[in-house]
């Protein structure tokens, strides 16, 4: 009996080791192979559970980390997704069953979404090396260069993107905005007009900057029309209406300016933003020109409450102190 017990213990340990080996060598590779299928068929929670099970057994399984990151991305859990993809990057993707282009596209997008622009730029430059004819990579790299005020590089990459895909409105829009900021109005106007000929996500943005160019050249009627189209976007609504009101002010049409500026004020969501301050300031000036001082003061008061040194708003309030309604 004394000899039998140790043999039983040794046998049990051997069986346990064998089961563990079978699980690791057969079951977990099957889990790993199943991960892309689970994600493709929309079984995201099942994919997450399976990936975590694999990682618990082998924390250095890069494929499991990749598909876990992809699953998190499908659930819009972007911070978790980025953390998993960074782990993959540290483990390395060479000789792994990971599609490199898809991996780097996702990683670059996550970096950009989490405001890690430098890292996103590195990934897009690597993608350009992998597929040098892909216009979107040049476009996104150009945007990131532009955000870093590296305008020469931005122009080169956006120009290449436009060359590779001349019918992409988004590319021409970004190029036009960059050229506008570089004070190259003629080239910017041409690029923005091309952008507006083609469908894209940046139509209102293109109309806004085209309106700025037209306003600068005193083409007020055409500028107002562009700003009207730009105001359809929530992002540009307030600033486009302020600019449109400015076009009417420049033509001496205060009543038309008031209509747009009042609409701008009604659309304000952030009272401390520059466009909000300008909307209320200019609306106050319009009321002042029509001798509606109480209304003017009401607008200037709100500007002064946010920024006391905004233009001459403090002087105006002092000047009309005696005109306040008691």
DSSP letter, residue 23: I
Shared fold status for 28-92 and 231-326: yes
Total Cβ atoms within 10 A of residue 48: 21
pLDDT tens digits for 71-102?
A: 999 999 999 999 999 999 999 999 898 999 99
Backbone torsions φ then ψ of 59, nearest 5 degrees: -60, -15
Q: Where does the pLDDT of residue 20 fall: very low under 50, low under 70, confident under 90, or very high at 90 and above?
A: very low
Q: DSSP labels for 67-80? A: HHHHHHHHTT-HHH
Instruction: Provide mean pLDDT across the span 201-217.
Output: 94
d(CA 285, CA 273): 19
d(CA 8, CA 51): 35
Architecture of domain 28-92: Alpha Horseshoe (1.25)
Instruction: Provide mean pLDDT across the span 28-43.
Output: 76
Provide the pLDDT for residue 31: 54
d(CA 65, CA 96): 12
End-to-end CA distance of the chain: 107
Q: Six-digit token pair at 224?
A: 């107002």
Domain ranges of the chain: 28-92, 231-326
Task: Select the more confidently predicted residue: 151 or 137.
Answer: 137
Provide the pLDDT for residue 299: 96
Instruction: Provide mean pLDDT across the span 20-42.
Output: 63
Among residues 243, 181, 193, which one has the least CA distance to residue 215?
243
Q: Six-digit token pair at 305?
A: 């409450």
pLDDT tens digits for 224-254?
A: 999 999 999 888 999 999 999 999 999 989 9
Provide the pLDDT for residue 233: 84
Checking if the pLDDT of 1 tops 90, the result is no
CA distances from 92 to 65, 104, 168 (A): 11, 12, 34
Checking if the pLDDT of 294 tops 70, the result is yes
- Predicted TM-score (pTM) of the model is 0.77
Look up the CATH number of domain 231-326.
1.25.40.10
Q: Six-digit token pair at 5?
A: 């017990």
d(CA 36, CA 25): 19
Provide the pLDDT for residue 200: 72
Query: What distance lies between CA 182 and its chain's CA centroid?
Result: 22
Output the average pLDDT for the chain.
Answer: 89
């Amino acid at each position: 009996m004394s000899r039998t017990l140790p043999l039983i213990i040794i046998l049990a340990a051997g069986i346990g080791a064998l089961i563990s080996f079978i699980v690791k060598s057969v079951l977990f590779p099957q889990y790993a192979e199943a991960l892309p299928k689970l994600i493709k068929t929309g079984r995201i929670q099942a994919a997450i559970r399976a990936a975590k099970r694999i990682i618990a057994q082998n924390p250095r399984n890069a494929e499991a980390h990749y598909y876990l990151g992809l699953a998190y991305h499908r659930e819009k859990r972007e911070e978790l997704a980025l953390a998993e993809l960074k782990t993959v990057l540290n483990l390395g993707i060479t000789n792994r069953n990971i599609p490199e282009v898809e991996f780097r596209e996702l990683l670059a997008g996550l970096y950009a979404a989490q405001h890690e622009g430098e890292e996103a730029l590195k990934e897009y430059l690597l993608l350009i090396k992998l597929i040098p004819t892909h216009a979107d990579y040049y476009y996104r790299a150009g945007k990131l260069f532009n955000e870093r005020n590296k305008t020469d590089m931005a122009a080169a990459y956006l120009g290449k993107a436009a060359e590779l895909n001349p019918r992409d409105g988004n590319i021409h829009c970004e190029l036009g905005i960059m050229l506008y900021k570089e004070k190259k109005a003629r080239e910017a106007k041409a690029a923005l007009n091309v952008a507006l000929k083609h469908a894209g996500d940046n139509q209102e943005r293109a109309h806004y900057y085209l309106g700025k160019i037209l306003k600068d050249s005193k083409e007020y009627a055409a500028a107002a029309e562009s700003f009207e189209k730009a105001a359809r976007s929530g992002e540009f609504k307030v600033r486009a209406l302020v600019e449109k009101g400015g076009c009417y002010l420049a033509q001496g049409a205060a009543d038309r300016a008031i209509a747009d500026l009042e609409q701008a004020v009604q659309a304000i969501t952030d009272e401390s933003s520059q466009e909000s301050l300008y909307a209320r300031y200019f609306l106050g000036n319009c009321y002042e020109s029509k001798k509606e001082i109480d209304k003017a003061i009401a607008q200037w008061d709100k500007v002064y409450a946010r920024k006391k040194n905004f233009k001459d708003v403090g002087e105006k309030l002092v000047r009309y102190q005696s005109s306040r309604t008691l």
